[in-house]
Every structure is written in structure tokens, then in C-alpha cells.
Amino acid sequence: MKTLTFLLCILIATSLCAQDVSKENLAALQDEELLELFNQVYTDSIKAEKVARTYLNRARAQEDTIKMARGYDRLARIFHPEKNLRFADSVIVLTEHTNHITYPALGYILKATNYYEMNNLELVVMNYLLAYRIAENRNNTSQQVFVMDNLVYFKAIWGNPFEALKLQRKRHEIVNSPEFIQNKRKTVRKGVISKIGKEYTHDLILSYESFSFCFLNMKELDSARFYTNKAYNLVRVYDGFEKEYHKILLREYNMQISFYDNKFKETLKYSDSLLKSKTIVDDPYNLKNVYFFKGLAHLKLGEQKKGFSYLLLADSIYDNSDVQIVMPYQRKLFEQLYYFNDSLNNRENKIIYLNKMLRVDSVLKKNYRFYEPNLIKKFETPRLLKEKENLIAGLEKKQKVTKSISYWYLLIAILSLTAFLFYYGRQRIYKQRYENLIAKQTKPKTDITSQDVVTSISTSIISDILTSLEQFESKQEYLSQNISLTKLAKTFGTNSNYLSKVINLKMEKSFPQYINDLRVDYAAEELRTNRQFRRFTIKAIAEDCGFRSAESFSKAFYKSHGIYPSYYIKKLNKKNEGL
């Protein structure tokens, strides 16, 4: 199936160049070369951020609003959705009063893309429609057909696929109109006009893929196969952006067409060929899709063990994926695994999959209500809840069969009481630590200039290092993830031994602890004063503060303040609610 992350990339002109992102090399590149370099490295967020910020800083120095928007535009593509949305908003704020052909419509497209990853279909469509109206007013047909392509996709899944097909035919007419390429030339930068031909071929490929997708959802398999072949014939001679992606997508379509056409061995051939692709293996969304249809095909062939093993693999990806985009077919996945556990009389797992179906139903009902109210009747949530209650009651009845259960209950009660007392005591400690943190009770720093230990370092060197550290802290450079003692010493114009000794004595901590404490203090203050910041995930907060993982951030926060960031956020939110 299509992903919006890929569809967004059709707006980027592509070019291959060296991946040297050193400060010196970036400074030597022209503006257009920087954008071309970004196109190659955008999947590596560290490299991509360096390129984008170089472009953005240069635009700021030039006071060029549109170039600044391009810089924020690139930054809005490389991080987690919450952070990307902030950069997309910057694009919109910068350009909302301009009459530019690309902006601010592209800012709304970026927002739609990130809301999709957050499973908020209403905000996805709202932002796409805003982008479409602006694109229509500016006569930007490239953006219009891009937005239409996504609306076709959503309508085919969540609404009426016949109406989706009508919209796709309208889109295809625009792409095939004589004015399309002429208008397209007006929407691209001068540096990429030479690539218009490839982009037009790419638009045609996308158009045929959308026809195939519509017919696939309508289960008109001959038509779906016809347009899949038309798209594949173009892809074979196409040498532009993401050729490999299109080949894989079309193989996925053929896999699904074969399945719905009851050609299950052919389905397995397509799924096996897809699993040999590194692109599929590295993409949780598409990998889950391949495992799902491979599992169903084995079940249709009577190979129960193999079938359910692949369905369980698909389920494991759903559980472990950071971005859990909910699609209608996932309900079928959980239904199959529910019936599988029913055949094993495994009531515990049946409850697990009932809960998953209920969770997916909540998303599906919301999306169907938004796109097609009549389809809500397909869901039987009340029946599922009743079945869940019956299963739980059955488990409780089964647990009371033997006398030994009463001893287990007694043991559980004792353990629960112990756990409660431990929890209550720990919460009191946490509450005191939280109040200490709010009151900013910090340990005074030591004046190292009076200590005999540093007699080997001259007073002027110590003074220079302390001044550099003050500037380092005031500029919040500790938020970068690429800090090391050696690099920082080199930046200060001193050696790592001197820097380490000054930090050890002045701060009474090691260099890693010093950096972590700065980041943690920044996080604590930002969380206290910025309500929006508290809405981010722990992982997103950790990355913003310079940590490489949520776990390392939580450990550092606890080590510094004796409480976890999740507890701190909870108390802050509760305090605000009481205001």
C-alpha cells in the first residue's frame, strides 16, 4: 500500500551527489547543491539536519523569507511527527501573507503527512483541503494532483471506492491535459526545471497506481491488474526518483490481486520475492502487510501452522512499531488470531485479541464516521465487549475450581498489600523530590580557584575554560547529540585533560554527568513552563534535549532528581488542572 511519507517526496527534485556533510563542505556548496544533497541524505536525520540548518541559517542571513521556508520545510520531514509539525507551522507562519506558488500550501501538506502518522485522519484531510484551496488559487497543479492522489487513497479505504475512482479520473485528466507540464514548470525552482520530464513520468506512474488501488478496493481484479501492468511498463523505463519503491509497491498490488483472485500459490511467490527486498524488511508498515497476506494464503491452502506463524509475525510488528498506522485489514488480522486461540481454548490470548479488535474498531469507527457514516454499521463493538466480559467471567469461574486458588488469592492479597505500602511510601518520597525540584533546590557550585589540586593549571586557562563553559550553557549547545569531551575541548581551544579537571572540580561531577544534568535541568524547566512540550512523548522530549533514547533520558532524570520524567509531567499537569 502507499505511504504518505513516500508520496510527499514526489515534491522533491532529486539528484545524487557526495554525502560529505562536514561544515567546510556545506559552506562551499551553493544553495541548489545543498537542497540536492538534502534529497540524498534525508533518511539520515543527523546528516539531513546539518544540511537543512546550513541552508536555513544562510537564508536567515540573507533575510530571504522563501528560502527560510524551504529550510523549515526540509526540517519538517526528518524528525518524529510532533517535532515535524512545529517546523511545518513555521513554514506556514512565514509565508501565509505571501503570494508564493509553493508556500504556504506545502506547509499544510507537511502537516497532513505528520498527522497521518499520528492516526488523526480528520486533521489529515483538513490540512490537505487547506493546501488544495491555496494550490488552486495559485494555479499550482502539481500540488493539486498530489493532494488529490492522497484524497483518492483515503476515499478508497475509508469511504466509497466508486467515488474515489471518480476523483482519480478527474486527477488523471489534469495530468494528461496540455497545460499540466506548462503549469508544472512554474512551480519548480530554476535548478530543477531540467527534471520536469522525469517528474511527469512519475505523475503518470502514480496515476496508474491510484487506478489500480481503487479497482483493488472495489475487487475489480481485471481492471486492477490492467493498471498495475501499465504502471509497471512505465517503471521499467523510468530512471528517476524511488524506482525501487514503485517496483515493490506494484508487486504488493499483484500479491493482493492474486490473493483476491484465489491464486494463493501465486500470492506466496509474490510475498517471497518481496521478503527478499531490503526495502521491505526495513519498512515495518509494508513488511506487516506482506506477512499478513502470506499468512492468509497459507491458511487458504490448508497450511495452518505456517499461516498463523506469519500472522503472528505481522502482529508482532504491529506491537513493536513506533508508528502504528491503523488500517482496516488489521481487524481481519486480529480476528484470525482470535479464532486461532479459540481453537486452542486459550482464553487469555482471546481477551488480548478482543482488546486489539476493540482498539482498532475505535479508530475505524472514527475514520468511517468521518468519510462514510453508513459503514459504521459494519462494526459490532457492543457484541465484542459482551464477549470479552463472558470470557473474563469464564476465566474467573475456571480459577475457582480448585481449592488451591484460595491460597493464591491470599498470597496475591499479601503481595498486593506489600506492593501498595511500597508504592505509597515511594509516592511520598517522589512527591517530596518533586517539590524540591519545583523549588529548584540545587547544590552550590565549588570555587575551584582556591583549591590546591589545580595548581598545575594556570589561572588564565581556568578562567578561559569557565568563560567558555558559561557560553556553552547559555547557548544551550548541550542539546546536541554529538557532544564529546574531545570535541568540546577542541572547540574551547584547550585540551580534554584540562577541561575534564575543571568540570570535575567546579561541578563536582564527570563530563558525561555534567552534560546529562544540563540536559535534564533544561527538560525540567521546559516541562514546567511549556504546556505544549508536556504533550510530547518521552522519546520526543529525550531527542529534543540531546538524549539518544527515552531510556537514557529517564535514567538521567531519575539520577539527577530522584523521580522519573513521566511522574514529573503527571504532577505538573495535575497542578495546572487545579488552577
Encode pLDDT of 209-231 as tens digits.
999 999 998 999 999 999 999 99
* DSSP single-letter state for residue 98: S
- What is the pLDDT at residue 65? 93
Cell representation of residue 474? 547559555
Encode pLDDT of 231-272 as tens digits.
999 999 888 767 888 999 999 999 999 999 999 999 999 999
Minimal CA–CA distance to 106: which of 151, 76, 150? Answer: 76
Residue 404's pLDDT band, with cuts at 50, 70 and 90, is: low
426-to-420, 421, 547 alpha-carbon distances in Å:
10, 8, 26
Q: Which amino acid is at 473?
A: E
Residue 353's pLDDT band, with cuts at 50, 70 and 90, is: confident
- What lies within 8 Å, CB to CB, of 354 at 6+ separation is 338, 384, 387, 388, 391
Higher-scoring residue by pLDDT: 42, 549: 549
Overall average pLDDT of the 178-183 stretch? 79
R_g of the chain, CA atoms, integer Å: 28
Residue 562 has pLDDT above 80, yes or no: yes
φ and ψ at residue 178, rounded to 5 degrees: -60, -25
- What lies within 8 Å, CB to CB, of 132 at 6+ separation is 105, 143, 144, 147, 148
Cell representation of residue 202? 512519475
Share of the chain above pLDDT 90, in %: 26
Cell representation of residue 179? 497545460
- What is the pLDDT at residue 85? 94
SS3 (DSSP) at 179: helix
Determine contact, residues 209/179, Cβ cutoff 8 Å: no
Higher-scoring residue by pLDDT: 319, 135: 135
Minimal CA–CA distance to 330: which of 370, 361, 303? Answer: 361
- What is the pLDDT at residue 255? 95
Residue 424 has pLDDT above 90, yes or no: no
Higher-scoring residue by pLDDT: 290, 118: 290
Residue 399 has pLDDT above 50, yes or no: yes
- What is the pLDDT at residue 439? 72
SS3 (DSSP) at 331: helix
Minimal CA–CA distance to 502: which of 460, 474, 442? Answer: 460
> Buried b vs exposed e over 6-19: b needs ≥16 C-beta within 10 Å?
ebbbbbbbbbeeee
Determine contact, residues 338/364, Cβ cutoff 8 Å: no
Encode pLDDT of 508-536 as tens digits.
888 888 999 999 999 888 888 888 888 88
Cell representation of residue 478? 548541550
* DSSP single-letter state for residue 536: S
Cell representation of residue 363? 479508530
Higher-scoring residue by pLDDT: 526, 284: 526
Cell representation of residue 205? 506512474
Cell representation of residue 503? 568540570
Of 43-47, 116-120, 273-277, 294-298, the poorest mean pLDDT is in 116-120
Tell me how long the chain is: 579
- What lies within 8 Å, CB to CB, of 450 at 6+ separation is none
- Residue 273: CA atoms inside 13 Å, Cβ hemisphere, count? 14
- What is the pLDDT at residue 12? 39
Spatial separation of the C-alpha atoms in residues 507 and 501, rounded to whole Å: 10
* DSSP single-letter state for residue 530: -
Alpha-carbon 119 to chain mean position: 11
Of 182-191, 464-473, 532-541, the poorest mean pLDDT is in 182-191
Encode pLDDT of 133-147 as tens digits.
999 898 888 888 899
Residue whose C-alpha cell reads 503481595 in the numeric block: 415
Cell representation of residue 410? 491470599
Encode pLDDT of 432-485 as tens digits.
766 777 776 444 444 444 444 444 688 888 888 999 999 988 888 888 888 888
Alpha-carbon 316 to chain mean position: 18
Determine contact, residues 143/131, Cβ cutoff 8 Å: yes
- What lies within 8 Å, CB to CB, of 452 at 6+ separation is none
431-to-393, 434, 440, 535 alpha-carbon distances in Å:
38, 5, 14, 21
- What is the pLDDT at residue 197? 67
Q: Which amino acid is at 432?
A: Q
Q: Which amino acid is at 106?
A: L
Cell representation of residue 142? 502539481
Spatial separation of the C-alpha atoms in residues 245 and 313, rounded to whole Å: 22
- Residue 257: CA atoms inside 13 Å, Cβ hemisphere, count? 22
Determine contact, residues 112/124, Cβ cutoff 8 Å: yes
Residue 6 has pLDDT above 50, yes or no: no
